[in-house]
Amino acid sequence: MRAAIPLLAVTLLAGCATGKKMENTASGRPEVTIHGVTQEAVQAEIFSLCNSSAAVVRSSSANEVVCGKPMEGGSAIAAQLLVGNSYSTPPVAMARFTIWKAGQDVRVSAYQWVETQMAMGQMRTVELNSPQAFNALQSKLNDIKSRLDSTQASAPVVQSHATGQISKEQWRSQQLQQLQSETGLSYEEYQRRYRQIMGQ
């Protein structure tokens, strides 16, 4: 019965849904390789993706972002019956993004699952990697890749007193780090500043 869960297309991030996976990746899960960007720039895009999907960032580091979103409606009921039982907590759709540097590239791999906590406290999880779930998240990662690729040529070269010049990616990375360190920003203000930095 649990194998039927992916067929419900209960994904964390909405997107396209077809009968077969849109790409063949090395891991078999959603992933992209983005050339000439920083890990910070990719991480900022993933933060934005989670926020725009009404998901909450559960944890983050330089190499990983985990976000989750409570499931609702019929998908939540079906997932609770298949993953847990009537005594378990409402199911939560989760996604973990692993980010790492590979030469001049940054690679991102994503893992999706549904989790619920049983009455005795144990966590029960089931991976979401059906074609529908895969395509929904792969499409979002492809969007991030396209967006970062398109901003490569448009970011300014900024003068630096110490080195004469810094690259557009170094400038963007500095600006993103500064934005992420600021507290008390509303979601709308964060998005406005983020789009300004990314040249959108």
Query: How far apart, in whole angstroms, are the C-alpha atoms of residue 45 and residue 30?
Result: 16
Q: Residues of the chain with pLDDT > 90: what percent?
A: 33
Q: What is the pLDDT of residue 196?
A: 73
Q: What is the pLDDT of residue 152?
A: 62
pLDDT in tens, 56-101: 999 999 899 999 998 877 676 666 666 666 677 788 889 999 999 9
Rounded to the nearest 10 degrees, how much is the dihedral formed by the CA atoms of 173, 177, 179, 181? 180
Does pLDDT of 175 surpass 90? no
Q: Which residue has the higher pLDDT, 13 or 173?
A: 173
Specify the DSSP class assigned to residue 56. E
Concatenated DSSP letters for 45-92? HHHHHHHHTTPEEEEEETTEEEEEEE--HHHHHHHHHHHS-TTSPPPE
- CB neighbourhood size of 164 (10 A): 7
Q: CA geometry: angle at 109 spanning 51 and 93, to 5°?
A: 45
pLDDT in tens, 178-189: 777 766 667 777
110 touches 97 (CB < 8 A) = yes
Q: What is the pLDDT of residue 66?
A: 95
Q: What is the pLDDT of residue 14?
A: 47
Average pLDDT over the chain, rounded to an integer: 78
CB-hemisphere CA count at 13 Å for 120?
2
- CB neighbourhood size of 120 (10 A): 7
| pTM of this structure | 0.68
Backbone angles phi, psi at 95, to 5 degrees: -145, 135
47 touches 57 (CB < 8 A) = yes
pLDDT in tens, 7-44: 333 455 544 445 799 999 999 999 999 998 999 999 99
pLDDT in tens, 115-140: 888 777 787 888 888 898 899 999 99
Q: Residues of the chain with pLDDT > 70: what percent?
A: 70
Query: How far apart, in whole angstroms, are the C-alpha atoms of residue 46 and residue 131?
Result: 21
